[in-house]
Amino acid sequence: MVKRNLTGAGYGLGSWLQQRITAVIMLFSAIVFFIFIAYIATQVNSGISSWQALFQNIFVKFFVQIFFIALVLHAWVGIRDLWMDYINCAGLRLIFYVFTILWLLGSLMYSIKILWI
């Protein structure tokens, strides 16, 4: 039986760009977050209360949320790459995709709950 070579799924570049752009966002967010932590560490009363106060700040919440969104988008491409590389059966790969999406969406919703609710 002839196995035809099917090509042109058309989303390779988008995923590749998504992974690189989210990596830059995560790097930037991480640097900003470490500056916040360094700021807390230099305070006289750098206990749990100053940590809680930090996360009451709307800009900190915003930065951390952006970080988590970028992380989820980045992880989706990375984990999907793993399944593409190592799982040859398309049906099984699709099942892994669905579980990965559910897990990442769950993690994203949990980050929203922690930060905002």
Partner 1 sequence: MSKKHVKVSIYRYNPEVDKKPYYKDYTVELDPLDTKLLNVLMKIKDLHDDSVSFRRSCREGVCGSDAININGRNGLACLTDISSLGRNIILRPIPGLPVIRDLIVDMTQFFNQYHSIKPYVIDDRPQPERERIQSQEDRAQLDGTIECILCACCSTACPSFWWNPDKFLGPAALLQAYRFIADTRDQATNERLDELNDPYRLFRCHTIMNCADVCPKHLNPTRAIGKIKEIMVARAV
Q: Which stretch binds partner 1 (CB under 8 A): 7-15, 34-42, 62-70, 91-99?
A: 7-15
7 binds partner 1 (CB under 8 A): yes
Residue 69's Cα: distance from chain center in Å?
5
Alpha carbons 116 and 62: distance in angstroms, whole number: 10
Binding test (CB under 8 A) with partner 1, winner from 24, 84, 94, 105: 84
Q: Which stretch binds partner 1 (CB under 8 A): 22-30, 47-55, 78-86, 93-101?
A: 78-86
The least distance separating partner 1 from the CB of residue 2, rounded to whole angstroms, comes to 12
Alpha carbons 53 and 36: distance in angstroms, whole number: 11
Binding test (CB under 8 A) with partner 1, winner from 48, 52, 56, 86: 86
DSSP string, 56-83: HSHHHHHHHHHHHHHHHHHHHHHHHHHH
Nearer to partner 1 (CB atom), residue 9 or residue 35: 9
* Segment (H or E) for 10: none
Residue type, position 45, single letter: N
Interface residue list for partner 1 (CB under 8 A)? 3, 5, 7-13, 15-17, 81, 84-86, 88
